[in-house]
Every structure is written in structure tokens, then in C-alpha cells.
């Protein structure tokens, strides 16, 4: 059986070269006869240099959303993503059909789903819609986050550490395997970043060099050693974080390093199947158990209300003085023919079934004899008895 396609979700700050990187990996797969299936989730982009199979702009008009809801640019992006997330079941259905075409079809299933996201990272990663989209993808396909970093703008220790902290937050928010993609290596080599991630002393040397040059400002801030101490502490803290990442250096302009990127994608796909998928299934089971527990509580509440109504309306349950009569008196005074819906014995549930159906109907819920809710109520009654 063929391996399931892997979803590569490209995330990166504005100006990191994310869209150009998407164009490069899309072109690479076409050239190697591995045609991908491409999704564009950026509603505000005017033009993209690749053909998207599913494009948020086809169903959501970003400018109209801004105008209709009186929003700014970021609010418009966030609301557009929220609206698009309401169609997630249709999107996943399309992807599953594309990944599993009929046997008689000549369609070749893709090995990769490429997903482009807005440059406003927080609007995607930290929003409810972003979580829905990522969790839905990960529940159906192996999913990998490609975090695109602008290498020339990360050459100082402070900006490097800022990017690492952002990557760390995304990793633990999405709970998906991540690849750090140091882009624009045609402008600046990314070997310094590899050294800083693997050799703590190299980062310390660079940090001390910047401190001596006064990069962190004068007295009262950098001059007091505060900035250097902070970066030093964070580098120690992130040492464990680096061990869970794959780092690749690429150039979206020249195509250098793209082979290494897809090698890393394959490695992370296996890691997803081995480590992340069981955790996702565990979280899904917990959500299902919580939902089942809530349904059980709702059923219990409905049955309790029905029992209280029956007790209140039943004749002979209360004396003229308002005192409850004994069970023995109830048994003597009650005529079974007055309660045709009451359960006569263990084999006769028709009366109880009619009572439940009538109660549910009063709440606007139409059920038949095979309805799961009705069966659950009857089963709960039998357990209580």
C-alpha cells in the first residue's frame, strides 16, 4: 500500500521568502515528476507564483470581509481564515479523494500537499481557525511544519534567538514535527546558525564579541550585561529544543538545498507516524470521551427532570396535608390501569419507550425506535433499576 501524502505547511514571517520558497519546492516536485497538490491559505495576497489547487481567495473575498465587518488588515485576515475554517470538512474530503483516487482512475495521487499560509504568523498559528486547519490536516495525513527563516536578518545573536523562541512557541503550540528552513543562503551562508545550534561555545563566543562591540547599547541595558545574560540563559534553555529539529539551509533563488529539505520532510514524516500520531489519537480519544460524558450528563438531566415531572403529576403521591405517603400506601392506592405507559416487567419496555419519545418530542426532538438517544436512555434506566 502506498504511503499517505505528507502535508508540508510553510510558515514564516513577512519578508522571509516563504512564497518564493513555495514556488521553488512546487517547481522542484513538478520537475521530478512528483506533482504536488497545493493549497493557498493567504486571503490577502494579490498574486502567487504558483498554481493553487485550493485557494482561499476563490471562496473568501478579503476586501469585502474588511468592509462588511469594519476590520483592519490583520482582522480581515483572521476573519477570512475563520470563515474558511467552516468549510474544513469539505477541504479534507477533497484532499482524501485526491489522495485515494478510484482504482479505475488514471489520476496519480500526490506524495505532497503544499500549504502556503499568511505572512502574519500570529493570525494563523495562534487563531482558532489555524488550530482547526492544522488539527484536521494532522488527523488525516502526516503533517510537517516548515518554518522559514530569513538568514541574512538572523546573523546577530539577538535576532537569531528571537527566531528560535518563535519557532519554539510554534512547535509547542501546533505539536507537530518542525523543520527550520534557513532561506536566502545565496545572500549569506547559514553555517553560523548550524554552529550556534550544535555548539554552545560557538554561540557564547559570538555573544561576547557582540557585547565587546557594544551591539546591545550603552549603560543601563546592554552595557550592564543584562542582554548578554538573557541571551546566554535562553541559549542554555533551547539546547534541548534544538535536538528535536531538523535544520536545512536553502536558497529559493538558486534551488540549493532543496534536496536536503525533502530528505528532512521524509524523516519528519516517519517521526510523525512514530511519535506524533499516537499523541494525536490520544488527544482525539480524550475529546471523544469528554463529549460522550457530556451527552451522558445531558441524558441524566433530562431523565431526572422527567422523573420529577412524573412524581409531581402522579395522583396519590402527596396527602392533603402535604406529607408524602409511604410506598406501601402508594402500592395499595395506585391502579395500574391509571398508568398505561408504566413499565410492567423487564420484558415490557414499550410504555417507558413511549414516555421517553413523548418527552423528547415536547423538546422538539423527533426520534424513532432505533434512535441511539432513545436506546441510551432505556439502557441507562435498566442500569439504574
DSSP string for 220-239: TTTTTTHHHHHHHHHHHHTH
| Residue 325 counted as domain residue | no
Lowest mean pLDDT segment, chosen from 152-166, 202-216, 236-250, 334-348 = 334-348
| Average pLDDT, integer, range 210-233 | 67
Residue 152 lies in a domain: yes
User: Residue 312 pLDDT more than 80?
Assistant: no
Q: How many CA atoms lie within 13 A of 202 on its CB side?
A: 11
Quick one: which of 311, 302, 294, 308 has its CA closest to 363? 302
CB 183 within 8 A of CB 225: no
Q: Is residue 117 one of the residues assigned to a domain?
A: yes
Contact 89, 137 (CB under 8 A): no
- Residue 295 confidence (pLDDT) above 90: no
326 within some domain: no
Segments forming the whole domain that contains residue 112: 6-213+233-278
How large is the average pLDDT for residues 135-158?
A: 93
In a domain, 105, yes or no: yes
Q: Is residue 139 part of a domain?
A: yes
Which three cell numbers mark 206?
A: 559570538
Higher-confidence residue of 225 and 173: namely 173
CATH of the domain at 157: 3.40.50.300
Would you say residue 185 lies in a domain?
A: yes
- Average pLDDT over the chain, rounded to an integer: 82
CB atoms within 10 A of CB 37: 20
Rounded-to-integer distance, Cα 69 and Cα 57, Å: 17
Q: Which residues contact 292 (CB under 8 A, 6 or more apart)?
A: none
Burial class (CB in 10 A: 0-12, 13-18, 19+), 178: buried
323 or 242, which is more confident: 242
Whether 197 contacts 242, CB under 8 Å:
yes
Percent of the chain with pLDDT over 90: 44
Beta-carbon neighbour count of residue 376 at 10 Å? 14
> Is 285 a member of any domain?
no
Number of domains observed in the structure of the chain: 1
pLDDT at 264 over 90: yes
Average pLDDT over residues 322-335: 46
pLDDT at 275 over 90: no
Encode pLDDT of 162-221 as tens digits.
899 899 899 989 989 999 999 999 999 999 999 998 888 888 888 888 888 777 665 444
pTM beyond 0.85:
no
The rounded distance, in Å, linking the Cα atoms of 58 and 162 is: 35
Amino acid at each position: 500500500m502506498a504511503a499517505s501524502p505528507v502535508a508540508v505547511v510553510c510558515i514564516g514571517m513577512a519578508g522571509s521568502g516563504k512564497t518564493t520558497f513555495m514556488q521553488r519546492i512546487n517547481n522542484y516536485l513538478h520537475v521530478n515528476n512528483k506533482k504536488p497538490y497545493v493549497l493557498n491559505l493567504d486571503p490577502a495576497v494579490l498574486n502567487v507564483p504558483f498554481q493553487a489547487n485550493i485557494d482561499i481567495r476563490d471562496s473568501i473575498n478579503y476586501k469585502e470581509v474588511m468592509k462588511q465587518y469594519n476590520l483592519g488588515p490583520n482582522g480581515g485576515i483572521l476573519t477570512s481564515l475563520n470563515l474558511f475554517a467552516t468549510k474544513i470538512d469539505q477541504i479534507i474530503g477533497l484532499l482524501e479523494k485526491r489522495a485515494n483516487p478510484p482504482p479505475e482512475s488514471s489520476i496519480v495521487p500526490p506524495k505532497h500537499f503544499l500549504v502556503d499560509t499568511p505572512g502574519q504568523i500570529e493570525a494563523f498559528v495562534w487563531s482558532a481557525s489555524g488550530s482547526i486547519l492544522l488539527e484536521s490536516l494532522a488527523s488525516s495525513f502526516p503533517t510537517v511544519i516548515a518554518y522559514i527563516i530569513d538568514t541574512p536578518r538572523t546573523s546577530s545573536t539577538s535576532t537569531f534567538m528571537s527566531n528560535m523562541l518563535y519557532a519554539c512557541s510554534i512547535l509547542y503550540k501546533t505539536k507537530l514535527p518542525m523543520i527550520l528552513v534557513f532561506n536566502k543562503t545565496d545572500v549569506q551562508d547559514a553555517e553560523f546558525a548550524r554552529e550556534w545550534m550544535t555548539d554552545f561555545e560557538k554561540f557564547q563566543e559570538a555573544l561576547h564579541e557582540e557585547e565587546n562591540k557594544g551591539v546591545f547599547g550603552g549603560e543601563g541595558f546592554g552595557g550592564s550585561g543584562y542582554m548578554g545574560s538573557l541571551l546566554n540563559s535562553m541559549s542554555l534553555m533551547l539546547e534541548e529544543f534544538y535536538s528535536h529539529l531538523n535544520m536545512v539551509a536553502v536558497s529559493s533563488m538558486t534551488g540549493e538545498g532543496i534536496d536536503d529539505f525533502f530528505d528532512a520532510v521524509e524523516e519528519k514524516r516517519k517521526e510523525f507516524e512514530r511519535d506524533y500520531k499516537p499523541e494525536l489519537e490520544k488527544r482525539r480519544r480524550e475529546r471523544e470521551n469528554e463529549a460522550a460524558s457530556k451527552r451522558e450528563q445531558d441524558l441524566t438531566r433530562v431523565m431526572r427532570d422527567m422523573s420529577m415531572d412524573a412524581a409531581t403529576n402522579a395522583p396519590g403521591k402527596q396527602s392533603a396535608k402535604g406529607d408524602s405517603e409511604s410506598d406501601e400506601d402508594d402500592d395499595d392506592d395506585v391502579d395500574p390501569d391509571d398508568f398505561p405507559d408504566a413499565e410492567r416487567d423487564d420484558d415490557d419496555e414499550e410504555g417507558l419507550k413511549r414516555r421517553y419519545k413523548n418527552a423528547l418530542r415536547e423538546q422538539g426532538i423527533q426520534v424513532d425506535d432505533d434512535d441511539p438517544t432513545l436506546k441510551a436512555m432505556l439502557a441507562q434506566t435498566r442500569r439504574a433499576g
